[in-house]
Amino acid sequence: MFEEAQYFAPVATREDGSVVVELAASHPGVADPVYRERRNAIAALALNHTPGDPVPAVAYTEREHEVWALVARELAVKHRRYAATEYLRGCERLGLPSGRIPQLQEVGDLLAPLTGFRYLPAAGLVPLRDFYGVLADGLFYSTQYIRHHSVPFYTPEPDVLHEVLGHANALASDRFARLYRLAGAAARRVRTEEALEFVSKVFWFTLEFGVLAEDGEDRAYGAGILSSYGEIEEFRGMDIRPLDLAVMGTTTYDITKYQNVLFRAESLAHLEDVVGGFWESCDEETIARLLADSTVKQGQAGVISR
């Protein structure tokens, strides 16, 4: 229900050096001064982090740990029912704590021996090219705050539950980790903003909201689905289409609602072949052809509809 690395509350540094996170009027924590101060303090930790240093630790409160424990427990049940086998293998390999929020440094220390990935702290918005680009180096930008305790199964923005429960379990898989790295390499390779947007949309409809066929049913591997208590129950009822790079790279979506259009790979190998192959070699010329192909398809659809 949010766009990775883009749908964040703005973060500003005042003249006195203090950090403030501007929550929207509709945010569940906007009227809670304690929560707002926590958000400010956690954002400041990320802003003051020096690349190469250990990720600063957050002194999470008991209530914050309780939110993690509740959501992690409920999602674990849903994962066994709806998640792709390779994602479940990643969960087993990583062994995240279920009763407390793990520190990002701790998550990286668990991931590094498995797939080489580590986490970087993000106060809020990370520029699109930076967010995707560092994936090529085995780095993943992550927030450290957790959603408001009044609505533990909802967040209007990516929080540590999404970033870690959703993404880190996938990053513990060699096969998924390779796809993340390929996406990062593609983001660095392309030069235009149009091509970068195309690469990011393919990421959105796969590693964020991807579905694959397994044992005769649809299973989720996208972090956006697998970190959402509600969406994981609804995704099988959405408009699920075959993988199509031209369509995925040009399809618009509403970040405030459940994704009503999803794309299904026929297997993990199919995903690696189509999407991994695209990210491995794509450039402006490749994407220009796909954009032209998308225009043709849209025109044909218009003819058919008339």
Let me know: does 172 contact 93? Beta carbons within 8 Å.
yes
Output the CA angle 99-124-136, nearest 5 degrees.
Answer: 85
Output the CA angle 121-225-130, nearest 5 degrees.
Answer: 30
Contacts 24+ apart (CB under 8 A), 113-120: 114/172, 114/174, 114/177, 115/171, 115/172, 115/173, 115/174, 115/177, 116/177, 117/171, 117/177, 117/180, 119/55, 119/163, 119/168, 120/49, 120/51, 120/55
Q: Rounded CA gap, 297 and 23, in Å?
A: 40
What type of residue sits at position 101?
Answer: I
Q: What is the three-class DSSP state of 186?
A: helix
| 162 classed as catalytic | yes
The residue from 142, 208, 228, 294 that is catalytic is 208
Q: How far is CA 209 from CA 4, 13, 48, 81, 93, in A?
A: 11, 33, 32, 17, 22
Q: Rounded CA gap, 234 and 249, in Å?
A: 23
DSSP secondary structure code for residue 31 in this structure: T
| 149 classed as catalytic | no
The residue from 79, 163, 167, 228 that is catalytic is 167
The residue from 64, 148, 162, 163 that is catalytic is 162
| 208 classed as catalytic | yes
The residue from 173, 200, 227, 228 that is catalytic is 227
The H-or-E segment that residue 202 falls in is helix 193-203
| 26 classed as catalytic | no
Let me know: does 164 contact 96? Beta carbons within 8 Å.
yes
- Token pair belonging to 65: 């740990």
Active site residues: 162, 167, 208, 227
